[in-house]
A and B are shown apart, each in its own frame.
Chain A
Amino acid sequence: MSNVLSSQETAVHGVHDAHHEHHHHETFLTKYIFSQDHKMIAKQFLITGIIWAIIGGLFSVIFRFQLGYPDASFPWMEDLLGKWAPGGKLSPEFYYALVTMHGTVLVFFVLTAGLSGTFANFLIPLQIGARDMASPLLNMLSYWFFFLASVIMVASLFVQTGPASGGWTVYPPLSAIGDASIGSKIGMDLWLVSMAMFIVSSLLGGLNYITTILNMRTKGMSMTRMPLTIWALFFTAVLGVLSFPVLLSGAILLLFDRNLGTSFFLSDLIVAGKVLPNEGGSAILFQHLFWFLGHPEVYIILLPAMGMASEILSVNSRKPIFGYMAMVASLFAICILAFLVWAHHMFVTGLNPFLGSVFVLLTLLIAVPSAIKVFNWLTTLWRGNIRFTPGMLFAIGFVSLFISGGLTGIFLGNSALDIHLHDTYFVIAHFHIVMGVASFFGMYAGVYHWYPKMFGRYLNNTLAYIHFWVTLVGAYLIFWPMHYQGLAGVPRRYYDFSNWESFKQFNGLNEFISVVALVVFAVQLLFVFNFFYSIWKGRKVTDPNPWKSNTLEWTTPIRPGHGNWEGEIPEVHRWAYDYSKDGKDFIPQTEPVGADESKH
């Protein structure tokens, strides 16, 4: 009824320009659901990402129960999982499904879509001075393809044979033959279709991010005046646009192998005593296709966190970022090297040893730009006037985790050492610290820092400090011991270690890790509570620039509408890092350069 009325009104008054704004009322549907406002789309990505993070985290808690208490049974588990936990004991099949889905969900749905999707959408137009993304329509579609991918992935959890369970890397033949395992059936098809949708989403988003940064910058915002967040998000988008299509090719070929009887990745196989007709394919080929995405993916996850940490460290140290151009150059170097190191995931899958040594060299080269970044973060902090806001703490935590996780990368990048370390808990410890937890810390830093801009309210500080300390200490308590397990040879992806005499020494440690994991998960729920509670009940922001920051997003109204700035878009006259300069605490980018001002 109200729709009819409003459309009649439009019909009557629609020709008058003066009434245009009055009739431009947004309905609930256009404002919150099918929104084309980059800020709303960012929030959609963030909230979907949070939901996925809870689901993905819950998976890990459940399989940690199995690893910590292999002999116990939990009645609640049967209530929750039904036939997948008969008698309250997790079934091996579902253990593998959980491990697979934990990886898939966290890597793609949380740390790719949830991280890039949120902060690229939110920060790019605000920080470069644009009213919206280059194409708001494609931007909206990007979210909805992500949503579709999410729906399909969730549906795969509920099919009778369970979700994909061949590991998040979905190597054939386990993923290519429906009869290979129970998780190789329809769940695997849904996984592939969901990922195809996900790739479309990431492509639409990435194209938007790149073109917006190149073309929509406000007057004076030259590339070298952009905040490092924008540089990082730019390289992230380039990585995504060029690496995801290769996974798409692999996924399409894999779908053909599964459903049309082709032999792209299959050759000479016997399953359950039956010789398969497939011949001539190569399972290693899939690994190449997968890791050509898979390795850049690590940086798709890391770079946004790096960019946000750079920005937040500088703002809260009240110091210019140290070595701005070196930071940009090292991001660029990482972006290039990311495409040239994929085979270090395959040192033991049958690679020419000479080729292996080339990949060792290229892999270890990444340590150079990474170290430049770390030293620049530390020198930015050095003698700064540090404010320990929750965002700042998480940014410092990110640097800490990046260092600890990065160092073990040097071990694993060595093809000789990798023979011993591959597929052990050492690998799990390495990548969880350096890309999993570190990126989460970058993401939390971003959420705490930009929450006032997103919702016009602050998150609760006390809860934030509890969240930070428990998560930081907990993350190290969970993953540090895994290094020792890995060095002792404990393999990853095993359901139960109790049959090995040599691994019995770790029974207590496994239980300890599981308990800490549960505590850390509970604290994340505290954050989720804080997040949603503060949207409605948080302390209101009264200062449009609460962190005394130089960047453009803080020149908008406290709760900016669609279009971001009420009047003209501000002009930019300087870079984003004039802190503690010429006796001034901070000089926003919009302030013209004075005649007697010193150079930065």
Chain B
Amino acid sequence: MASTAIPAGTKWWSGGKSPFNASYGKIMMWYFLMSDAFTFGAFLISYGTIRFSVNHWPDPNYVFNAFPFAGHANLPLAFVSLMTFILIFSSVTMVLAVHEGHKMNRKGVEKYMILTILGGLAFLGCQAWEWTHLITGDHAVLVNGQIEKWGTTVTRNPFGPEVLHNGQMVSTPGPIAFGGYFFGITGFHGFHVFSGVVINIIMYIKTRLGHFDQRGHYEMIEKAGLYWHFVDLVWVFVFLCFYLI
């Protein structure tokens, strides 16, 4: 087979006109995000279908009212608000990292990438605590005439309709779809955050090693930023669907 090696200095795109005036990497990232949006869309629509076809759904203000080290204080949605704040703040630092990248300021990029990574890790830590709290919780549930202590898992939901039992209001088992969708979708989102943190760490290392200075631009940071903002945006929808509605 005749071997035609590419002559040195050949431009890979020697003309034409790109409709979006963006590099192929950015277009690829945008299309990937569209694709990923469809994955999340399918999950959230499935969740909506099931949630609004059952008669009873746990009240988020009651399910998510705990805060670390706050004992049994009733703090509805306080912790998840903190989580959301952390994640959105990490988006802000990501914007600043991209901005520093445009200015070719390596130190600035490093600083803000570190903050973004820390934000992502903090969010994952919070999620781990929240999951643990839900799974190991002990809510009184009336099962077959007996009071049992249940946590929330993919097969158990202690937040069903309340009934009168021995002069006291007690929960009955609720629709088990709650745990499945909650852990399934926040887990899938958490997996995205985790991937984002890994990507950001790689970007940080590449910045440290001066790869982007050699390349003459910080577009990789921008692409990682697109992904990170997308993960944030998805969280806004997850937050809306599971905690606010």
Q: Which residues of A contact B209 (CB under 8 A)?
A: none
- Please tell me which stretch of B43-51, B78-86, B88-96, B215-223 contacts chain A, meaning at least 4 of its Cβ atoms lie within 8 angstroms of it: B43-51
Docked pose: A221 CA to B32 CA in angstroms: 25
Q: Name the residue of chain A whose CB is nearest to the CB of B19.
A: A214
B167 contacts chain A at the CB level, 8 A cutoff: no
- Please tell me which stretch of B6-14, B107-115, B132-140, B143-151 contacts chain A, meaning at least 4 of its Cβ atoms lie within 8 angstroms of it: B6-14
A179 contacts chain B at the CB level, 8 A cutoff: no
State whether A135 touches B28 (Cβ < 8 A).
Answer: yes
State whether A214 touches B27 (Cβ < 8 A).
Answer: yes
- Please tell me which stretch of A368-376, A377-385, A467-475, A553-561 contacts chain B, meaning at least 4 of its Cβ atoms lie within 8 angstroms of it: A553-561
State whether B32 touches A215 (Cβ < 8 A).
Answer: no
Q: Which residues of B contact A214 (CB under 8 A)?
A: 18-20, 24, 27
State whether B4 touches A560 (Cβ < 8 A).
Answer: yes
Q: Which residues of B contact A562 (CB under 8 A)?
A: 3-6
State whether A559 touches B6 (Cβ < 8 A).
Answer: no
B162 contacts chain A at the CB level, 8 A cutoff: no
State whether A134 touches B24 (Cβ < 8 A).
Answer: yes
Partner of B176, one of A212, A218, A262, A571: A262
State whether B46 touches A285 (Cβ < 8 A).
Answer: yes
Once A221-B16, A559-B2 are accepted as A-B contacts, the answer to whether A282 and B42 lie under 8 Å apart by CB is no
B62 contacts chain A at the CB level, 8 A cutoff: no
Tell me how far the C-beta of B2 lies from the nearest C-beta in chain A, rounded to whole angstroms.
5
Tell me how far the C-beta of A326 lies from the nearest C-beta in chain B, rounded to whole angstroms.
21
Docked pose: A263 CA to B2 CA in angstroms: 58
Q: Which of B17-43 contact A (CB under 8 A)?
A: 17-20, 22-25, 27-28, 31-32, 34-36, 38-39, 41-43
State whether B31 touches A215 (Cβ < 8 A).
Answer: no
A594 contacts chain B at the CB level, 8 A cutoff: no
A520 contacts chain B at the CB level, 8 A cutoff: no
Residue from A243, A260, A262, A282 having most chain B Cβ neighbours under 10 A: A262
Contact mask for chain B residues 225-245; partner A; CB cutoff 8 A; 1 contact, 0 none: 000000000000000000000
State whether A218 touches B14 (Cβ < 8 A).
Answer: yes
State whether A260 touches B154 (Cβ < 8 A).
Answer: yes
Q: Which residues of B contact A567 (CB under 8 A)?
A: 7
Q: Which residues of B contact A50 (CB under 8 A)?
A: none
Contact mask for chain A residues 122-153; partner B; CB cutoff 8 A; 1 contact, 0 none: 00000000111011001000000000000000
State whether B24 touches A216 (Cβ < 8 A).
Answer: yes
State whether B4 touches A566 (Cβ < 8 A).
Answer: yes
Tell me how far the C-beta of A272 lies from the nearest C-beta in chain B, rounded to whole angstroms.
20
Q: Which residues of A contact B155 (CB under 8 A)?
A: 260-263, 277
B188 contacts chain A at the CB level, 8 A cutoff: yes
Once A280-B50, A292-B42, A561-B1 are accepted as A-B contacts, the answer to whether A222 and B17 lie under 8 Å apart by CB is yes
B175 contacts chain A at the CB level, 8 A cutoff: yes
Partner of B42, one of A24, A219, A250: A250
Q: Which residues of A contact B36 (CB under 8 A)?
A: 245
Q: Which of A1-25 contact B (CB under 8 A)?
A: 17, 20-21, 24
State whether B27 touches A210 (Cβ < 8 A).
Answer: yes
**Interface size class for chain A?**
35 or more
State whether A216 touches B176 (Cβ < 8 A).
Answer: no
State whether B14 touches A568 (Cβ < 8 A).
Answer: yes
Q: Which residues of B contact A223 (CB under 8 A)?
A: 19
Residue from B5, B46, B49, B188 having most chain A Cβ neighbours under 10 A: B46
A564 contacts chain B at the CB level, 8 A cutoff: yes
A364 contacts chain B at the CB level, 8 A cutoff: no
**Interface size class for chain B?**
35 or more
Docked pose: A276 CA to B30 CA in angstroms: 43
Residue from B12, B15, B28, B32 having most chain A Cβ neighbours under 10 A: B28
A220 contacts chain B at the CB level, 8 A cutoff: yes
Q: Which residues of B contact A419 (CB under 8 A)?
A: none
Q: Which residues of B contact A220 (CB under 8 A)?
A: 15-16
B184 contacts chain A at the CB level, 8 A cutoff: yes
Q: Which of A256-312 contact B (CB under 8 A)?
A: 256, 260-264, 277-282, 285, 289, 292
Partner of A216, one of B5, B10, B13: B13
Tell me how far the C-beta of B136 lies from the nearest C-beta in chain A, rounded to whole angstroms.
18
Docked pose: A132 CA to B155 CA in angstroms: 50
A47 contacts chain B at the CB level, 8 A cutoff: no
Q: Which residues of B contact A217 (CB under 8 A)?
A: 15-16
B54 contacts chain A at the CB level, 8 A cutoff: yes
State whether B4 touches A249 (Cβ < 8 A).
Answer: no
Once A561-B2, A566-B4 are accepted as A-B contacts, the answer to whether A219 and B16 lie under 8 Å apart by CB is yes
Docked pose: A222 CA to B54 CA in angstroms: 53
State whether B5 touches A561 (Cβ < 8 A).
Answer: yes
Q: Which residues of A contact B20 (CB under 8 A)?
A: 214
Q: Which residues of A contact B175 (CB under 8 A)?
A: 279-280
Q: Name the residue of chain A whose CB is nearest to the CB of B1.
A: A559
State whether B5 touches A21 (Cβ < 8 A).
Answer: yes
Docked pose: A221 CA to B18 CA in angstroms: 11
State whether B14 touches A282 (Cβ < 8 A).
Answer: no
Docked pose: A196 CA to B232 CA in angstroms: 24
Docked pose: A218 CA to B184 CA in angstroms: 45
A433 contacts chain B at the CB level, 8 A cutoff: no
State whether A263 touches B4 (Cβ < 8 A).
Answer: no
Q: Which of A451-506 contact B (CB under 8 A)?
A: 456
State whether A207 touches B32 (Cβ < 8 A).
Answer: yes
Q: Which residues of A contact B16 (CB under 8 A)?
A: 216-222
State whether A215 touches B50 (Cβ < 8 A).
Answer: no
A407 contacts chain B at the CB level, 8 A cutoff: no
Docked pose: A222 CA to B15 CA in angstroms: 10
Tell me how far the C-beta of A535 lies from the nearest C-beta in chain B, rounded to whole angstroms.
12
Partner of A557, one of B2, B23, B24, B184: B2
Docked pose: A285 CA to B8 CA in angstroms: 55
State whether B154 touches A563 (Cβ < 8 A).
Answer: no
Partner of A24, one of B5, B17, B38, B180: B5
Knowing that A241-B34, A245-B39, A262-B176 touch, tell me 7 more A-B residue pairs with CB under 8 angstroms.
A20-B8, A24-B5, A131-B12, A264-B177, A264-B181, A559-B2, A569-B14
Question: Which residues in B have some Cβ–Cβ distance to A below 8 Å?
Answer: 1-8, 10, 12-20, 22-25, 27-28, 31-32, 34-36, 38-39, 41-43, 46, 49-50, 53-54, 154-155, 175-177, 179-181, 184, 188
List 12 A–B pairs whose Cβ atoms lie within 8 Å, in order of A's numbering.
Answer: A24-B5, A132-B12, A134-B28, A206-B31, A211-B31, A242-B38, A246-B41, A256-B180, A292-B42, A561-B4, A562-B5, A562-B6
User: Which 5 pairs of residues, A with B, have the shortest CB-CB distance?
Assistant: A219-B15, A249-B42, A262-B180, A561-B4, A245-B39
